């Protein structure tokens, strides 16, 4: 069990933060943070005994909590408490963030944002169901499959080439190192009515300012795909470089076609990365906000004060934050539940599909 060493091999030991010299003529060993001294009771004709000098793990116990202290305080204040508090606010009426007062508990907030119950003024709130939910779902179900598929193809192509691989990889990474607002504004110039896109395709479509929301969705989705691809390529490439070349040699010997090799070897072996990318990008797409601000300078195609026809769920949350905190909280809880359901669903589906 223990491999006792002479004093020379184990000179000193730290006891309660101080270095203590070990008494001579004893034998010591260290195992699982316990320094053990061998005590001979030969003279009394008693059997050997093992006595622990210091249980380091017991000492580490409070020390570890000291190291974790700052993080635990911050997580409690800025992560755990807000989570509980937001759910709490979602069930209160007219929560005032400045004073912390509210007019009792209600579940009407969810009814109000979903347009089922009238607000206190008697009118129905329609922005959430009319704009925020459909827009968010369009963004999610258009951009996530498009960008994932495109990123996969680009990564496979990048992985198969020899020259300029690093240069091209860096170019494809560039959209990651940009300011979302700044490049959103550049896209609004590109898609301007007198901009380069209309000029190149010889069309006369209003894409951004004053556009039909259905048409305005196109530049928005292109922008989101463009900006979300770099991260995916990086993850896929690191996954591809980890795949054993033997699989491809075997496929070559069996004279598999390129498409079949991609579908039968690359995709299954890349499935952990694909799952990771799908989970994170679904969550990211549900929270799309800055791209709308960058592109449209407001919640809709008419700018800051127009109809919020390009609003997303998160946009709705931020808009109501200070004036209608309860509604914002209800929308946030709604988003949280949707994201949670989607993540769970993906993990359930992936159980049979992902190979580790």
Residues in 29-48 at the binding interface with other proteins, rule: CB under 8 A: 30, 33
CA distance 341 to 327: 21
Among 199, 212, 249, 257, binds other proteins (CB under 8 A): 199
Q: Which residue do the tokens 């009814």 mark?
A: 111
Among 91, 128, 131, 187, binds other proteins (CB under 8 A): 187
Which residue number, 79 or 123, has a Cβ lying nearer to other proteins? 79
Applying the rule CB under 8 A, the residues between 266 and 305 that interact with other proteins are: 272-273, 275-277, 279, 283, 286-287, 289-290, 293-294, 297
**x/- site string to other proteins, residues 239 to 268, per CB under 8 A?**
x------------------x----------
User: Binding residue for other proteins (CB under 8 A) from 3, 24, 45, 79?
Assistant: 79
Can you spell out the DSSP letters for 343-355?
Answer: HHHHHHHHHHH--
Minimal distance, residue 219 CB to other proteins, in Å: 11
Structural tokens at position 329: 């909280």
Helix, strand and coil content of the chain, in percent to the nearest 5, comes to 60, 10, 30
Stretch that binds other proteins, among 109-117, 124-132, 212-220, 333-341 (CB under 8 A): 333-341
116 binds other proteins (CB under 8 A): no
Q: Are strands 34-39 and 49-55 parallel, antiparallel or unpaired?
A: antiparallel
State the Cα angle at 181 between 180 and 186, rounded to 5°: 95
- Asked if residue 231 binds other proteins (CB under 8 A), the reply is yes
Residue 183 engages other proteins in binding (rule: CB under 8 A): yes
Residue 102 within binding range of other proteins, rule CB under 8 A: no
d(CA 225, CA 33): 52
The pair of three-digit structure tokens given for residue 194, joined into one six-digit string: 């007198």
Phi, psi of 276 (to 5 degrees): -60, -45
Q: Which stretch binds other proteins (CB under 8 A): 36-44, 133-141, 213-221, 229-237?
A: 229-237
What number of residues does the chain have?
A: 356
């Amino acid at each position: 069990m223990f491999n006792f060493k002479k004093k020379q091999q184990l000179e000193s030991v730290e006891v309660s933060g101080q270095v203590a010299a070990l008494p001579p003529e004893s034998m010591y060993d260290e195992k699982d943070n316990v320094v053990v001294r061998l005590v001979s009771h030969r003279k009394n004709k008693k059997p050997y005994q093992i006595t622990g000098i210091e249980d380091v793990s017991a000492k580490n116990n409070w020390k570890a909590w000291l190291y974790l202290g700052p993080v635990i305080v911050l997580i409690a204040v800025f992560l755990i408490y807000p989570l509980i508090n937001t759910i709490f606010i979602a069930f209160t009426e007219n929560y005032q963030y400045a004073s912390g007062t509210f007019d009792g508990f209600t579940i009407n907030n969810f009814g109000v944002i979903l347009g089922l119950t009238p607000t206190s003024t008697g009118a129905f709130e329609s922005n959430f169901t009319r704009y925020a939910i459909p827009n968010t779902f369009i963004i999610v179900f258009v951009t996530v499959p498009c960008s994932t598929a495109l990123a996969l193809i680009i990564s496979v192509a990048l992985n198969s080439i020899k020259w300029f691989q690093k240069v091209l990889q860096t170019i494809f990474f560039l959209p990651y190192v940009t300011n979302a607002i700044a490049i959103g504004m550049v896209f609004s110039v590109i898609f301007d009515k007198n901009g380069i896109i209309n000029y190149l395709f010889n069309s006369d479509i209003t894409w951004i300012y004053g556009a039909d929301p259905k048409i305005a969705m196109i530049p928005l989705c292109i922008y989101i795909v463009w900006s979300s691809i770099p991260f995916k390529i990086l993850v896929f490439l690191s996954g591809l470089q980890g795949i054993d070349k033997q699989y491809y040699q075997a496929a070559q010997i069996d004279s598999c076609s390129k498409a079949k090799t991609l579908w039968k070897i690359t995709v299954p072996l890349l499935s952990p990365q694909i799952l990771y990318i799908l989970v994170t990008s679904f969550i990211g797409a549900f929270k799309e906000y800055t791209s709308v601000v960058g592109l449209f300078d407001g919640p809709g195609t008419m700018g800051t004060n127009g109809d919020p026809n390009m609003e997303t769920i998160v946009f709705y949350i931020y808009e109501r934050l200070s004036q209608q905190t309860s509604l914002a909280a209800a929308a946030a809880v709604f988003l949280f539940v949707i994201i949670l359901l989607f993540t769970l669903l993906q993990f359930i589906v992936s159980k049979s599909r992902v190979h580790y």
